[in-house]
């Protein structure tokens, strides 16, 4: 059945997030379950004057590659992928999982081989993106699998997702614009900070952020969105953080993750469940031990944990850090095949100090902070 | 649930039709409905050491393009397609539509522009295919849309398709198609020595000159299912009358009981019991549309009924078909046209074909070796 919100969502993605214009080469990718939205994006891109193309990913094909592929096959880069990162103008990825745990049984070394081979591709598109030559967006799409992870019905999950995307508003683009103003306010506070200290339950972590750029993430590269993030100084991270939410990566999971840092590197990593997996990921390469991103989740329309990182890392009142690759444009210099976001809820008693001054408590920036 | 016949079809296409080898770059194209076959082809390609990737799209994009694109957008050829045309070693196209008539009511002018863009794209690809640099195979994925056209249930239609491909349980499809290839290649060599064919059947007595033209065996390399031997007749040599008992379909529109009379190679009279105006407009497409671009024997005897899909119908064992319009370079054709319209003549009951005066085909099959081959 046609959900009228698909049309609205497509208009926002094409008109606001990626600003498709005449002659733009647009690639729309998804899994099969999101075809209704893919069609809307295709039509909206044509109306905007672009040259859209679509490609539906096949879960079972990827499973065959990861299950039976040789190293040469795992490392091979398809012409479509190279073209996209070198020559494309707009790349839309619709995240519409049919089964979020389908890769749980894959040999981690095969996954690692593939991740490493693709790291240069990742860097290339992120660099083109930072230079303003490439607009990409990852857009959530409600599926039974995501609803199941969130412990709710598909209809309930649709409402959660579309509320987070401000599609319940009459004019979602205006809502994103005014939300962007709010993120600008927070960003301008953080721009002048040298050191952040995060304090919470079993957590006391310091990060140097001087001269790094805080990016106001307001619905352009992720959708839904709502975070302010940077790449901390690679050698600066010190102390301990205990993450309240599970750390998820491609169907695998570690719970109760606790990391201790010295001089920017993880020196101790424990988990109440999935500890081996956690340590495997951290051992992927040199950069996987370091923090590539630190961020404040700012979207108050997302209230609860859903198990979908795209939403969870944006929850208003949380912070997250990513082990591994930093994002071009932030000033971060860390390189890795990994970029693994893990979320910590600060809504219940968490505090953040900026150069010694309390600026954030119980999940919100304090008014009058300068 | 997995259908073992789909796995078998994937082995046949990657192993026989494309002869896919280690390290080759292989793309699989199709609509969403054909995903099970795309997955099977992908997995088979991985097992052969190739580098496969897929280009599966939702249904309905052509309609959206016709509705929303400017003429300039309609004429645009994607760089991705150009890169693929240059870089691929092997290519699969999966035909399978959820609705075979979705574009029947589209604006004909716009649709023509869209098709001509697609043809331009495919033409460049065919240069590499003809040169032997690119292996290509188009195949059918049995879908409800095609089952409906064929007036069957989906399970019945699946049985029909896998019968035609020889991919049923217990079949050895690669052995079958290798055998077909040998037989058809020998038959094509025999036909190469023929000067003139005379086709006699119900309301049909047609002479077609084929001297100096090459007969091409369609043996499952480019199409699956397959099974025909074709050539392009000498452009000025066709004379007489032919009647087509099956409906003749072009771009989703049907013309029934077509009768054509030829003189000196060109159609001089055309009639039909329904769709006659459409028939005449197609013949008037251009000068080449009045001339035969193809004559062929259908040799796939597992295809035993009309299904409204030319890829199957032209191969019905015991039929012959001719095409009005563009001929084939590989056969030595000179006729050019924007039209290539296959019309099928059922010779299974009382048809006869004479090669230079000798009876070579009766009641739907070759009677013996040709005299020219013995000579």
Residue B24 Cα, gap to closest chain A Cα (Å)? 10
A35 vs B contacts (CB less than 8 Å): 32, 58-59
d(CA B274, CA B192): 37
pLDDT at A154: 96
Contact between A73 and B51 using a beta-carbon 8 Å cutoff = yes
Position B1 pLDDT exceeds 80: no
Which residue in the set B55, B58, B80 is minimally distant from A35, CB to CB?
B58
Whether B373 shows a pLDDT value over 50: the answer reads no
CA distance B37 to chain A (A): 11
Residues of chain A with Cβ-Cβ distance to B78 below 8 Å are 25, 51, 53
Tokens linked to A363: 């999940």
Token code pair at residue A64: 């065959």
Residue B375 has pLDDT above 50, yes or no: no
Q: What integer best gives the mean pLDDT of chain A?
A: 94
- Report the alpha-carbon distance of residue B325 to residue B260 in Å, rounded: 14
| pLDDT of A345 strictly over 70 | yes
Give residue-wise pLDDT tens across range A111-133: 889 988 998 998 899 899 989 99
Domains of chain A: 4-141 (3.40.1830.10), 189-365 (no CATH)
pLDDT at B47 over 90: yes
The DSSP result for A303-366, as a single string, is -S--S-HHHHTTBTTEEEEEEEPPPTTTT-----S-EEEEEEE-TTT-EEEETTEEEEETTEEP
Q: Is A60 in Cβ contact with B64 (below 8 Å)?
A: no
Tens of pLDDT, residues B117-165: 988 888 889 889 989 999 999 999 999 999 999 999 999 999 999 999 9
pLDDT of amino acid B163: 97
**Which chain A residues touch B42 with a CB distance below 8 Å?**
58, 60-61, 64-65
Rounded CA separation B361/B317 (Å): 12
Put simply, the answer to whether B65 touches A68 (Cβ < 8 Å) is no
Instruction: Sketch the domain layout of chain B as residue ranges.
Output: 4-171, 187-374
Report, as an integer, the average pLDDT of A292-317.
Answer: 95
Contact B42 A61 (CB under 8 A): yes
Q: What would the pLDDT profile of A59-86 be if each residue is shown by its tens digit?
A: 999 999 999 999 999 999 999 999 999 9
Q: Which CATH number does B4-171 carry?
A: 3.40.1830.10
B34 phi-psi bin (left φ>0, alpha ψ -120 to 50, beta other) = alpha
Q: For residue range B344-356, list pLDDT tens digits in order.
A: 999 998 899 999 9
Residues of chain A contacting B52 with CB distance shorter than 8 Å: 61
Task: Give the range among A158-162, B64-68, B103-107 with minimum mean pLDDT.
Answer: B103-107
Mean pLDDT of B193-217: 96
pLDDT at B370: 55
Q: What's the rounded Cα separation, in Å, for the pair B112 and B107?
A: 9
Inter-CA distances, A166 with A96, A181, A302, A345, Å: 19, 15, 10, 22
Do B46 and A35 make contact, defined as CB atoms within 8 angstroms?
Answer: no
On whether ipTM exceeds 0.95, the answer is no
Residues of chain A contacting B38 with CB distance shorter than 8 Å: 58, 61
Question: What pLDDT sits at residue B25?
Answer: 98
Q: How far apart (Å, rounded) are the C-alpha atoms in residues A122 and A30?
A: 18
> Of A93-107, A312-326, B60-74, B234-248, where does mean pLDDT reach its minimum?
A93-107
Question: Is the predicted pLDDT of residue A240 greater than 90, yes or no?
Answer: yes
Mean pLDDT for the stretch of residues A43-56: 97
pLDDT band at A370 (very low <50, low <70, confident <90, very high): very low
Question: Does residue A317 contact residue A346 with C-beta atoms inside 8 Å?
Answer: yes
Of B56, B64, B79, the CB nearest to A58: B56
For residue A70, list chain B residues with Cβ-Cβ distance below 8 A.
49
Give the dihedral of Cα atoms B175, B181, B186, B188; nearest 10 deg: 160
Distance from CA of A90 to the nearest CA of B (A): 14
Which residue among B47, B54, B83 sits closest to A61, beta carbon to beta carbon?
B54
Instruction: Determine which of B40, B64, B65, B76 to mutate to test the interface with A (most A C-beta atoms within 10 Å).
Output: B64
Q: A190-238 pLDDT, tens per residue?
A: 999 999 999 999 999 999 999 999 999 999 999 999 999 999 999 999 9
CA nearest to B58, candidates A302, A6, A309, A112: A6
A285 near A115, Cβ under 8 Å?
A: no
Q: Name residues 57-116 of chain B within 8 A of A (Cβ).
A: 57-61, 64-65, 67-70, 73, 76, 78-80, 83-84, 87
């Amino acid at each position: 059945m046609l959900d009228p919100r698909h049309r609205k969502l497509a208009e926002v993605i094409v008109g606001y997030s990626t600003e498709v214009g005449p002659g733009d080469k647009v690639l729309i990718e998804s899994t099969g379950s999101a075809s209704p939205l893919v069609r809307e994006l295709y039509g909206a891109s044509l109306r905007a004057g672009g040259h859209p193309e679509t490609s539906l990913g096949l879960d079972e094909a990827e499973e065959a590659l990861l299950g039976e592929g040789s190293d040469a096959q795992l490392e091979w880069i398809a012409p479509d992928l190279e073209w996209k990162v070198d020559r494309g103008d707009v790349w839309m990825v619709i995240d519409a999982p049919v089964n979020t745990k389908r890769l749980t049984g894959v040999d981690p070394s095969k996954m690692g081989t593939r991740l490493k081979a693709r790291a240069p591709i990742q860097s290339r598109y992120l660099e083109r993106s930072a230079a303003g030559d490439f607009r990409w967006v990852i857009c959530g799409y409600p599926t039974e699998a995501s609803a199941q992870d969130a412990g709710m019905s598909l209809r309930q999950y649709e409402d959660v997702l579309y509320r987070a995307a401000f599609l319940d508003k009459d004019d979602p683009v205006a809502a994103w614009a005014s939300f962007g103003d709010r993120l600008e306010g927070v960003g301008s506070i953080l721009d002048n900070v040298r050191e952040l200290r995060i304090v919470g339950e079993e957590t006391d972590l310091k990060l140097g952020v001087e001269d790094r750029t805080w990016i106001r993430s307001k619905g352009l590269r992720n959708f839904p969105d709502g975070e302010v993030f940077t790449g901390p100084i690679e050698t600066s991270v010190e102390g301990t953080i205990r993450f309240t939410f599970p750390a998820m990566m491609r169907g695998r999971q570690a719970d109760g993750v606790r990391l201790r840092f010295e001089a920017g590197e993880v020196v101790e990593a424990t988990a109440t469940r999935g500890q081996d997996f956690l340590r495997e990921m951290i051992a992927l390469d040199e950069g996987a031990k370091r923090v590539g991103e630190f961020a404040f989740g700012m979207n108050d329309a997302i209230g609860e944990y859903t198990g979908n990182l795209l939403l969870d890392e944006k929850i208003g009142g949380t912070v997250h850090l990513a082990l591994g690759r930093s994002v071009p444009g932030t000033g971060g210099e860390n390189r890795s095949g990994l970029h693994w976001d893990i979320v910590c809820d600060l809504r219940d008693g968490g505090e953040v100090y900026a150069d010694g001054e309390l600026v954030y408590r119980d999940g919100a920036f304090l008014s009058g902070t300068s | 649930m997995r259908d073992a016949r789909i796995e078998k079809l994937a082995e046949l296409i990657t192993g026989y039709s494309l002869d896919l080898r280690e390290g080759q770059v292989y793309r699989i194209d199709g609509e969403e409905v054909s995903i099970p076959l795309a997955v099977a082809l992908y997995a088979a390609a991985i097992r052969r050491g190739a580098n496969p990737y897929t280009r599966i799209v939702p249904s309905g994009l052509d309609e959206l393009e016709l509705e929303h694109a400017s003429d300039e957008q309609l004429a645009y050829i994607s760089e991705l397609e150009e890169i693929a045309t240059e870089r691929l070693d092997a290519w699969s196209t999966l035909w399978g539509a959820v609705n075979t008539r979705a574009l029947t009511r589209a604006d004909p002018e716009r649709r023509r522009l869209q098709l001509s863009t697609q043809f331009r794209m495919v033409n460049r690809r065919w240069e590499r295919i003809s040169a032997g640099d690119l292996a290509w195979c188009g195949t059918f994925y049995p879908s409800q849309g095609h089952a409906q056209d064929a007036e069957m249930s989906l399970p019945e239609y699946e049985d029909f398709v896998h019968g035609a491909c020889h991919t049923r349980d217990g079949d050895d499809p690669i052995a079958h198609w290798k055998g077909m290839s040998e037989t058809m290649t020998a038959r094509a060599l025999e036909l190469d020595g023929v000067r003139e064919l005379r086709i006699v059947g119900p309301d049909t007595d047609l002479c077609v000159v084929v001297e100096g033209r090459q007969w091409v065996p369609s043996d499952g390399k480019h199409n699956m299912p397959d099974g025909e031997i074709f050539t392009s007749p000498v452009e000025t040599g066709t004379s007489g009358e032919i009647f087509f008992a099956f409906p003749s379909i072009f771009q989703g529109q049907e013309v029934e009981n077509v009768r054509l009379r030829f003189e000196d190679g060109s159609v001089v009279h055309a009639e039909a019991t329904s769709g006659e105006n459409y028939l005449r407009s197609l013949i008037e497409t251009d000068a080449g549309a009045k001339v035969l671009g193809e004559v062929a024997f259908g040799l796939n005897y597992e295809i035993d009924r009309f299904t409204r899909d030319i890829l199957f119908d032209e191969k019905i064992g015991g039929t012959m078909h001719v095409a009005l319009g563009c001929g084939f370079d590989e056969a030595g054709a000179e006729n050019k046209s924007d039209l290539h319209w296959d019309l099928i003549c059922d010779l299974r009951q009382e048809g006869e074909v004479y090669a230079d005066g000798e009876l070579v085909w009766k009641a739907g099959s070759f009677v013996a070796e040709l005299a020219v081959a013995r000579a």
